Structure 1
Amino acid sequence: MDYGKTLNLLQTDFPMRGNLPQAEPNMQKHWAETNIYEQVKNKRKGKPKFILHDGPPYANGDIHIGHALNKVLKDIVVRFKSLQGFDAPFVPGWDTHGLPIEQAIANSGRADRKKMSALDFRKLCAEYALEWVEKQKGQFQRLAVRGDWDSPYITLNPKYEAQQIRLFGEMVNKGYIYKGLKPVYWSPSSESALAEAEIEYREKTSPSIYVAFEVRDGKGKLPADAAVVIWTTTPWTLPANLGISVHPDFDYVLVEADGRKFVVAEGLLESVAKEVGWEETKIIDRMKGTALEYVLCKHPFYDRDSLVMTGEHVTLEAGTGCVHTAPGHGEEDFAIGQKYNIGVLSPIDDQGHFTSEAPGFEGQFYDSANKAITEKLKQSGHLLHLGFIKHQYAHDWRTKKPVIFRATEQWFASIDAFREAMLEEIKNVEWTPNWGEIRLHNMIADRGDWCISRQRVWGVPIPIFYCRQCNEPLVNESTIGHVAAMFETEGSNAWFSRSEAELLPTGTACGKCGHGEFRKETDIMDVWFDSGSSHMAVLDTREDLRSPADMYLEGSDQYRGWFNSSLITSVAVKGHAPYKAVLSHGFTLDGEGRKMSKSLGNVVDPLKVCNTLGADILRLWVSSVDYQQDVRLSDGILQQTAEVYRKIRNTLRFFLGNLSGFDPKNDRFAPEQLSELDRYALIRLERLKDRVLKAYERYEFHTVYQAVHHFLAVEMSAFYLDIMKDRLYADATRDPLRKQTQYVMYESLVTITQLISPVLPHTADEVWKYIPGVEEPSVQLTVYSPVNEKVFDEKLEKKWEKLIDVRDEVLKALEEARKGKIIGNSLSAHVHLYPSVETAELLRQFDDLPKLFIVSDVTVHDSNDETPEGATVLKGLAVRVDVADGEKCERCWIVTPETGTNEKHPTLCNRCAEVVEQLS
């Protein structure tokens, strides 16, 4: 007789191999056909809401691994909240205006911007953006991000643009919007002003020059033959110089060097002398910075004065302590220039070339002019030293080209009136990680007014008109309401297709001169104003959402971006933050901690990962990392993740394969009906559930990953299931003990499938289809049951923890015996234990130690017995391994003297013979 066929072997159609690249698209097709998003939404209707508001990615290019990290994190949160019982809709969005799309159209060769109308160019931009919205939509869906993909929000949609205009109007009404001449970040490569959020810092080599400004009027403090020494790394700003700033409290010295007299800060004299090459310096006079106030110096190459002023912004960190001041090219320069009323000069045009206000350099590109300016200084004897330095310098984050500070007339949002309100609101937000609060607090506390105007075409126009008679700006509730209503039906293209008369209410007249003809503003809004309006344009307008959102979740760069702009606009018009909680994540690096770049060949393409390993592997990686820091990813890391996935899948398959004959409705047990080991396994399951649900609550997904992996690989596979294999395979199908173990496995299977569902949605739904007795067609429609604390028994847990420690020691001794050729399979062993008194007392509480150690026989010797020679001594326990007496049962492989005593089944032990007879 083939006794192998009488064993209860694995029976399941659940495949061992996931074949995720092929299986996942089929699963997603099924979700789409059954509209799982709407099913979940309807199931949770009327429940408390949890709103995670999607920060809109930019509709330009395929998604990268940073997109994948972000969207998967969001999806894990939303799926978890849904399984908690919340109504957790997810409305994805896209940012669709701005320079990159303009550049893409220009670089594509499809259009010459300068030869076509703004309206035609905008139509090309819109088509391009919407094409990428559709492509990225499919790519995000491939990652199994569940959401309302049929009704996303898009910033170019007319209703969105209309709400943005209304928000702008409310800020105007509250007096927060103004036009002014101020230095702003200006990108010559983009020909536009930039916000601070659009700046990135890159290494740049710049000239480092020391320049002498000769004294014209020393005010009795400095002799006529003295010169004030300044230091700058931007020689091109010297044509705009109108002053020199010194610190009022610093000590300054008049020194004689190289036959000339110079003024520098005393604290920097040594470094200046070394840099300039002064071999000997003699201090002639010493004075405070306040004494130098209103001294007049001569501009080094123009016939105009340079006023000495005092300012707290001057430091002794570098330079000379005398700061070259060009109010048209720096924030601090502008501020002190306003204080002393010296004017503003910015002789640079939109493309970065000098204008006629910089005689001698007109038409030269500012950066190229550094050489000519330095040469002019050298010829006139004003250049004391020329060197070069490498430093971090502001660049346009889109074009990657350097930017400059340039004073131009721009529209600004003033935040001073509600800055304190924003700082108070920041305190009320829950921050993960908690340093996010300090980071955004400092940014808001220190930031200046927000430059919201851009000199571009592709964006939402600034809805302001100018009187053609007196040039007075026109913007009020009536004009805003009229423009918003028109945008709501026609979109912002109406600004370009309609005349001023059509865009304004009938009978509109200038409030200053009464004139009735106007011209339109040509600037558009900063794209951060677009996305920063989403709380009003999306959360306030959709029935399935609400404001404020429960969470904003983005990369840590958004503290200066979306978190920042959204907070400003929301507090400005609503008085509160747009979010209750903010969670931020780090950036993705390669396996060696380097930034990913195509040139290094270390870029990981998320779509390629989906097509080779599967989206669930990528999602499992996301859950495995501490995303609050920068995270690493490489092919090797993905292979390790795939191995963990395989172990998870195989353990779930083992559960499924051992449930044949189990009836979920009738084969249920109260804790007191179970064996101690089964009770212990259920306790550990509830402990896992408690830990995982709390980790999800804290958004610590790496803890979820570690806990589930450890439970399945160690507590289940290496312990409980290892021990129970004999019971599951060899006991009678209806044996009560076997049914108890099946019950534990069933509970574990259902619980773990639910727990992993937010991370591994494809696998969880696939497993769910094979679980007998479940009511819902998808695990996504279920709700977590509360942790059953009634099963907890700390006394029992401690007891089994000690027993597991003993088991670990015995397994080590068995391994040594295997290496020593004493035994082969562990079932051929007879284990002799020589325990301490405490351990002996523990072991005698169990009558089935051979099952625990997976051996054929165990003898627990008296604690007073002498430890025999050759025994393995481990942690207070001596173990001797002998070959078990008897014959090996052909069916269960246990060695026992009973084998051979049954005449009908001479190769079986009594237990197996009895089971086989029952089967017969």
Structure 2
Amino acid sequence: GDHVTLETGTGCVHTAPAHGTDDHLICKKNNIQTINALNNKAFFKTELDFIAGLPSMKADPLIIEKLKENNSLINVEDYYHSYPHCWRHKTPLIFTSTPQWFISMNKNNLIKGALNKVKNVNWEPSWGLQRIESMLTDRPDWCISRQRNWGVPITLVVHKENGEIHPNQIELFDKFAEVIEKEGISAWDKLNLKDYISDHDDYVKTSDSLDVWFDSGVTHYAVSSKIFGKNVVSDLYLEGSDQHRGWFQSSLLTSIAMNGNAPYKTVLTHGFVVDEKGRKQSKSLGNVVSPQKVWDNLGADILRLWVASTDYRSEMVASDEILKRTSDQYRRIRNTFRFILGNLSDFQDNDKINFEDQIELDKWVINQAKKLQKDVLDLYESHLYHKAIQKIHNFCVNELGGIYLDIVKDRLYTCKSNSSARRSCQTSLDQLLNIIVRLIAPILSYTAEEIWQTSERLNIQEESVFLTNFDISEINYESTINESEWNRIFEIKDAVNQSIEEMRNENKLKGSLDSIVNINANSKDIKILEKLGNELHFLLISSEANVKIKESFNIQINSSNRPKCTRCWHRHSSVGSTKEHPEICHRCIENIDDDGEQRKFV
């Protein structure tokens, strides 16, 4: 046979057609009879008297001795070679042929139909298509019978002598199914054939059980179709990479046979969890990270966040250090919500400001949040969860924590409580809350629901965050400062922040509000910065900001010697100018006693 080569072994091959696939096929091809010397317990049969009742391994010495007695043995020599072992008990195995039931892969073009339909399925990652195609191409007929006392019985009735299936088998299937549906699986054992067929003396029930992969492979019919309607196609099948050989394939083959279509639109494959050294987690190695332990110590959402933030397409590394970093990531997102919620406690629907009337910075952040929503929803649709959570986290850290929330603290804390300037900011915070809580819900489910239930701004909309829809209204670009101009403004702000930080490190400055910022820039930059007018220093979080036209860009930071307002902490010459409020600036007086300051840009 083709399995015998000149490169390995002696060239003299022992062939046992009942104990190996290659042996069986070559003997079948050459009309050599199959002799099965083992019974169903893998012990030698009684007709082999000197080894009767022995397992194959223990019989080896006796067989060798018998060969020696008959002078039929040329040489005996022990040598090491690979040999199949039980994965659970680690004991040696022996293959033996038994009568089984098969589903043909070629009759009715089952395998051909499967290969055609897998091309219409979305495979994540894309290499899943090549993997299942290669497995289907070389797949043998499917053995669906098992010799077990548990499981779904194969309800066949066969002739005692020739093993032929009863001629009324199709009708019998329906009758047996009705009995089992009423009385349970064990009804098959109690069922008496004389109640169903007249020639019951010539026939027997089979005692085989169905392959469990057939059980799981028909969930598209037994579960999905029963719940969602006939011939429903699931949006997603999700499992490990080993299931291209298992569930993905058994589901595909049964669905092709029954419906002519694949049972799924998308198949997503994930890797396995390994430790920091890339080793498979096992109790014997002591490197198992218990999900329940993570849940108990860090919370369920930390576990969910770790899963979502890991690229599932390859092996996923889990360790205490990685989970600690995940906790830090979670806290940044949660703290963002705490800040937003804390500043919406006095905000109602009738306080909202129309978009066109909002302050320019507030318009900018709403548009950024809507872009985030579009990007994240696209990533969710593509099952790129690690990129989705990365975008959400980066938005909380950069656009919000690094820019917007840092700048608007002054407006939230010092402007008149019901002023347009403050309400404009709260309108944006309210929209941020609504967008981001929905975006985190698929991953940080418990946190999202906790936020929803504790916020009156949210729970008046729906009973749960999971019963809501996304607001997919278009981005409104109506603004006097376009996106490229904002990008340049924030680049300049970053440069200012670095210069201020250098001054603080040299102990020349206590905080950014103690600074006077002088920016020298070209005419293009000056034109952009001048759009902010006298509100530029609010954006830079300084007490004063000046700009001048120069060919080369540079920043000078000076320490202000003006008195400090005890309310807003800005340094300004107006502090102490009134007897009624000797410790605060004129801006704070306006926000306390008058109508409040007016803002347009920051």
TM-score, scaled relative to structure 1: 0.60
1:885 has 2:544 as partner: no
What CA deviation, in whole Å up to 9, does each residue of 1:588-618 have, x standing for no partner?
A: 1223322111122222222232222221221
- Whether contact under 8 Å (1:377, 1:383) holds in the other structure is no
**Aligned twin of 1:97:** none
Correspondence for 1:780? 466
Q: 830, 842, 845: which one pairs with 2:531?
A: 845
Q: Counterpart in 1 of 2:140?
A: 448
CA, structure 1 residues 798+404, in 2 after alignment: closer, same or farther (shift >3 Å)?
farther
Name the CA distance, whole Å, in 1 between partners of 2:115 and 2:48: 43
* Superposition deviation, residue 657 in structure 1: 0.9
Q: Does residue 551 in structure 1 map to residue 241 in structure 2?
A: no
Q: Which residue of 2 aligns with 1:756?
A: 440
Q: Distance in 2 between matches of 1:549 and 1:911?
A: 62
Q: Which amino acid aligns with 1:815?
A: E
Any conservation in 1 of the 2:367–2:476 contact (CA below 8 Å)? Answer: no
Alignment of 1:373-522 (within 5 A): 382-383=74-75, 386-389=78-81, 391=82, 394-396=84-86, 399=89, 401-417=91-107, 418-468=110-160, 471-474=163-166, 476-502=169-195, 505=196, 507-509=197-199, 516-522=201-207
In the other structure, the counterpart of 1:812 is 498
TM-superposed CA distance for 1:368, in Å, is 4.9
Residue type at the aligned position of 1:620:
L
1:646 to 331, 336, 348: 331
Partner secondary structure for residue 470 of structure 2: coil
2:465 is equivalent to residue 789 of structure 1: no
- Which whole-Å CA distance do the structure 1 matches of 2:9 and 2:350 have between them? 82
Distance in structure 1 (CA, Å) of the matches to 2:230 and 2:350: 39
**Is contact 2:124-2:269 (8 Å) kept?**
yes
CA-CA distance at 1:397 after TM superposition: 5.1
Q: Please give the secondary structure, in 1, of the residue aligned with 2:98.
A: strand
The CA deviation at 1:698 is 0.5
Q: Matches of 2:307 and 2:548 in 1, distance apart?
A: 51
Inter-partner Cα distance in structure 2 for 1:415 and 1:620: 42
Deviations 1:869-895 (A, max 9, x none): xxxxxxx64222211131111011111
Residue in structure 2 matching 1:656, options 341, 346, 352 = 341
The alpha-carbon distance between structure 1 residues 622 and 793, as it changes in their structure 2 partners (threshold 3 A), is farther
CA distance in 2, matches of 1:371, 1:856: 96
Stretches of structure 1 lacking an aligned partner (at least 5 in a row): 1-244, 246-310, 510-514, 865-875
Answer 1 or 2: which has greater strand percent.
Answer: 1
Q: Conserved in 2, the CA contact under 8 Å of 1:696 and 1:704?
A: yes
**Does the residue aligned with 1:831 lie in a helix, a strand or coil?**
strand
Q: Counterpart of 1:846 in 2: which secondary structure?
A: helix
Cα RMSD over matched residues? 2.8
Q: How does 1:587-606 map to 2 (within 5 A)?
A: 587-606=272-291
- Give 1:715 shift: 0.9
SS of residue matched to 2:101: strand
In structure 2, distance between residues paired with 1:669 and 1:553: 44
Give 3-state SS (helix, strand or coil) of 2:518's partner.
Answer: strand
Q: Tell me how far apart the structure 1 counterparts of residues 104 and 218 of structure 2 sit (CA, whole Å).
A: 16
Per the alignment, residue 911 of structure 1 pairs with: 587
Shift of 1:787: 4.6
Percent same amino acid among aligned pairs? 39
Task: Map 1:507-586; keep pairs closer than 5 Å.
Answer: 507-509=197-199, 516-543=201-228, 547-586=232-271
The residue aligned with 2:22 is 332
Secondary structure of the 1:623 match is helix
CA contact (8 A) 1:374 1:383 kept: no
Of 832, 843, 867 in structure 1, the residue corresponding to residue 518 of structure 2 is 832
In the alignment, is the contact (CA less than 8 A) between 1:656 and 1:771 conserved in 2? no
Code of the residue aligned with 1:658 in structure 2: it is N
Contact 1:885-1:897 at 8 Å conserved across structures? no
User: Which amino acid in structure 1 is aligned with residue 328 of structure 2?
Assistant: E
1:321-344 alpha-carbon deviations (Å, 9 max, x no partner): 665433222223222221111222
Shift of 1:919: 9.8
**Equivalent residue in structure 2 for 1:609, among 287, 291, 294:** 294
Structure 1 contact 674–740 (Cα < 8 Å) conserved: yes
Residues 698 and 346 of structure 1: is their aligned pair in 2 closer, same or farther, counting only changes over 3 Å?
same
Q: Offset at 1:477?
A: 1.2
CA contact (8 A) 2:360 2:480 kept: no
Greater shift after overlay, 469-478 or 606-615? 469-478
Q: Secondary structure at the match of 2:531?
A: coil
Question: What is the aligned partner in structure 2 of residue 700 from structure 1?
Answer: 384
Secondary structure (helix, strand or coil) at the match of 1:834 reads strand
Secondary structure, in 3 states, of the residue corresponding to 1:405? coil
CA distance in 1, matches of 2:513, 2:499: 14
The alpha-carbon distance between structure 1 residues 367 and 440, as it changes in their structure 2 partners (threshold 3 A), is farther
Offset of residue 320 of structure 1:
5.2
- Cα deviation, 1:434-453, whole Å, max 9, x if unaligned, reads 11111111111111112222
Note closer, same or farther for the CA distance 1:465–1:546 as it changes in structure 2 (3 Å cut).
Answer: closer
Rounded Cα–Cα distance in structure 1 between residues aligned with 2:290 and 2:407: 43
SS in 1 for 2:80: strand
Please show how residues 732-743 of structure 1 align to structure 2 within 5 Å: 732-743=416-427
Q: Using the TM superposition, give the Cα deviation of residue 518 of structure 1 relative to its aligned residue in structure 2, in angstroms.
A: 2.7
Moved more, 760-769 or 722-731: 760-769
3-state SS in 2 of match to 1:538: helix
Give 3-state SS (helix, strand or coil) of 2:348's partner. Answer: coil
Alpha-carbon contact 2:157-2:169 (below 8 Å) kept: no
Give me the whole-angstrom Cα distance separating, in 1, the residues matched to 2:126 and 2:451: 37
User: Bigger CA drift: 828-837 or 350-359?
Assistant: 350-359
**Closer, same or farther in 2 for the Cα pair 1:722/1:317, shift >3 Å?**
farther
CA distance in 1, matches of 2:284, 2:157: 48
* Structure 1 stretch displaced more, 629-638 or 442-451: 629-638
Partners of 2:135 and 2:370 in 1: CA distance: 44
Give the aligned length. 588
Which one has more relative contact order, counting CA pairs under 8 Å at least 6 apart? 1
Which amino acid is the alignment partner of residue 661 of structure 1?
A: D
The 3 A distance-change label for structure 1 pair 328 and 607 is same
Q: Deviations over 1:539-587 (max 9, x none)?
A: 2323568522222112222111111112222222222222222112111
Rate the CA distance shift 1:402–1:627 in 2: closer, same or farther, 3 A: farther
Which amino acid in structure 2 is aligned with residue 797 of structure 1?
A: E
Paired amino acid for 2:550 = S
Q: Give the structure-2-normalised TM-score.
A: 0.90
SS at structure 2 position matched to 1:689: helix
**Cα separation, 1, equivalents of 2:321 and 2:386:** 19
1:15-45: CA deviations, max 9, x gaps? Answer: xxxxxxxxxxxxxxxxxxxxxxxxxxxxxxx
CA offsets 1:328-377 (integer angstroms, 9 cap, x no match)? 22223222221111222343333333446778655443345567778888
Which whole-Å deviations, capped at 9, do the CAs of 1:480-534 have from their partners, x for residues lacking one? Answer: 11111111111121111232223xx2x433xxxxx74432212211111222222
Q: Name the CA shift for 1:708/1:400 in 2 (closer, same or farther; >3 Å).
A: farther
What is the distance in 2 between the residues matched to 1:794 and 1:529? 64
**Deviation, structure 1 residue 834:** 2.8
Matched to 2:98, the amino acid is T
Letter in 1 for 2:400: M
CA shift for structure 1 position 665:
4.1
Q: Unmatched 5+ residue regions in structure 2?
A: 597-602
Provide the C-alpha distance between the structure 2 equivalents of 1:615 and 1:881, rounded to a whole number of angstroms. Answer: 47
Task: Please state whether the residue corresponding to 2:100 is helix, strand or coil.
Answer: strand
Residue 366 of structure 1 aligns with which residue? 56
